[in-house]
């Protein structure tokens, strides 16, 4: 899943806006620093006021390193922002994890916005839309793909982000680049057993849906046939018949409707069985298929890391599991992984920067604008390539 961020700031102005003069040679400006987070954003992790202050100080250090690049501080042909906020710990799929066990996280947004001018050609201090780039500290990358086989399951097991050529000398995975000072992995391999557990949960959930629907139909039919309920309906029919021209004919008609409704419910109940419903039978067969595939594996195979044959986004999620999930090392497969929640060193202060990820979105794939507009992705990539990453590393912990 790609994380694409745009912002729209609408500022009232009485002057008419004109297109940016070409070429893009007007010196721009860097908007004043803003910090939008509240200390309460981190309170659930037992954060102290001193820790909050220390984290903001660290983020200001990072901002100064970003600002040292003329791409950010002396823009030409666009205007820029460097704004920050806290990033509260969030792992809903892992309720066993506690925010207080992890370092504090925050991020800085960089944005290069197209310039706008009034009719006289004066540069306006307004911001429209652009592609933002995020610099996030101390947060494991979470925007990763899940296989379709367990797309509806609440889990941190996913697919390893695609590995692209280094960007600005940094490892490039999916839509992020990574800077760290240790060799610890960000993701750990997930096993065939992990994968089959989720596959079976997804497939059994489909069967449970059919069972739930059938149970409701049986209950509705039984309720409809309940003598007391039928008596209630008859009383309603009788009251309505008083206002009809022919009460006897009306009651006969309603009796026919009542019996037809009962017959419709009966047919629905009869059709709601695995024997009568092909899709229900298929769902049961898919569960048995996954159970058979899993049972065919040895103990060592079940414990081995799994890899996913992710040939296309439109592939059939009901493909036989041992066709889709193969041993690591199989050509064109993506390893099944989960975040390495033990990546962070708990002996370090919670404000120490142990990891920096830069959200580049799809900017590396974007071609330059045909008119040479430097805003958005072109400026994002220029900033990334202009930074002194050794100085950034210097403010990070091992």
Residue that the structure tokens 């692209």 belong to: 164
Q: Which residue ranges make up each domain of the chain? A: 34-147+160-189+342-394, 194-300
Give the pLDDT of the chain (398 residues) as one tens digit per residue.
444 454 444 333 333 444 444 579 999 999 999 998 665 666 667 788 899 999 999 999 999 999 999 999 999 999 999 999 999 998 999 999 999 999 999 999 999 999 999 988 899 988 999 999 999 999 998 777 899 999 999 999 999 999 999 999 999 999 999 999 999 999 999 999 999 999 999 999 999 999 999 999 999 999 999 999 999 999 999 999 999 999 999 999 999 999 999 999 999 999 999 999 999 999 999 999 999 999 999 999 999 999 999 765 556 777 899 999 999 999 999 999 999 999 999 999 999 999 999 999 999 988 888 888 999 999 999 999 999 999 999 999 87
For the chain, the straight-line distance linking the first and the last C-alpha, in angstroms and rounded, comes to 29
Q: Is 39 helix (H, G, I), strand (E, B) or coil?
A: helix
Q: For position 44, what pLDDT does the model report? A: 61
Task: Give the torsion through C-alpha atoms of 316, 322, 327, 333, to 10 deg.
Answer: -10
The pLDDT assigned to 315 comes to 66
**Dist. CA 204–CA 280, nearest whole Å:** 11
Helices 278-295 and 192-225 pack at an angle, to 10 degrees, of: 150
State the pLDDT at residue 337: 96
Kindly state the tokens that stand for 312. 């296309």
Tell me which DSSP letter residue 305 carries.
B
Length of the chain: 398
Phi/psi for 146 (5° steps) reads: -100, 145
Token pair of 172 as six digits: 């490039």
């Amino acid at each position: 899943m790609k994380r694409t961020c745009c912002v729209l700031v609408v500022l009232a102005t009485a002057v008419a806006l004109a297109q940016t003069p070409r070429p893009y040679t007007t010196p721009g400006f860097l908007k004043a620093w803003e910090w939008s987070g509240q200390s309460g954003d981190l309170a659930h992790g037992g954060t102290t006021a001193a820790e909050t202050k220390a984290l903001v100080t660290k983020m200001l250090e990072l901002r100064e390193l970003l600002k040292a690049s003329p791409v950010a501080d002396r823009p030409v042909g666009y205007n820029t922002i460097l704004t920050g906020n806290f990033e509260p710990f969030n792992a809903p799929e892992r309720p066993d994890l506690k925010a207080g066990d992890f370092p504090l996280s925050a991020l800085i947004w960089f944005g290069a916005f197209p310039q706008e001018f009034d009719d006289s050609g004066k540069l306006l201090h307004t911001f429209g839309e652009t592609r933002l780039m995020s610099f996030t500290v101390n947060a494991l990358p979470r925007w990763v793909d899940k296989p379709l086989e367990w797309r509806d399951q609440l889990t941190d097991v996913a697919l390893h982000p695609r590995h692209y050529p280094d960007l600005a000398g940094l490892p490039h995975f999916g839509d992020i680049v990574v800077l760290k000072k240790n060799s610890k992995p960000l993701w750990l391999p997930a096993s065939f057993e992990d994968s089959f557990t989720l596959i079976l949960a997804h497939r059994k959930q489909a069967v449970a849906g059919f069972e739930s629907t059938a149970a409701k139909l049986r209950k509705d039919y039984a309720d409809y046939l309940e003598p007391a309920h039928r008596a209630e309906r008859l009383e309603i029919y009788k009251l309505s018949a008083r206002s009809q021209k022919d009460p006897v004919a009306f009651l006969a008609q309603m009796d026919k409707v009542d019996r037809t409704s009962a017959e419709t419910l009966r047919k629905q109940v009869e059709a709601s069985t695995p024997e009568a419903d092909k899709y229900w039978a298929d769902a049961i067969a898919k569960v048995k298929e996954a159970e058979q595939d899993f049972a065919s594996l040895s103990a060592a195979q079940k414990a081995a890391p799994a890899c996913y044959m992710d040939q296309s986004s439109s592939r059939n999620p009901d493909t036989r599991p041992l066709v889709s999930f193969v041993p690591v090392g199989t050509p064109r497969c993506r390893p099944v992984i989960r975040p390495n929640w033990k990546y962070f060193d708990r002996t370090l202060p919670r404000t120490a920067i142990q990891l920096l990820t830069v959200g580049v979105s799809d900017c590396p794939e974007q071609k330059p604008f045909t008119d040479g507009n430097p805003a958005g992705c072109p400026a994002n990539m220029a900033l990334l390539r202009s930074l002194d990453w050794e100085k950034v590393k210097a403010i990070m912990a091992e």
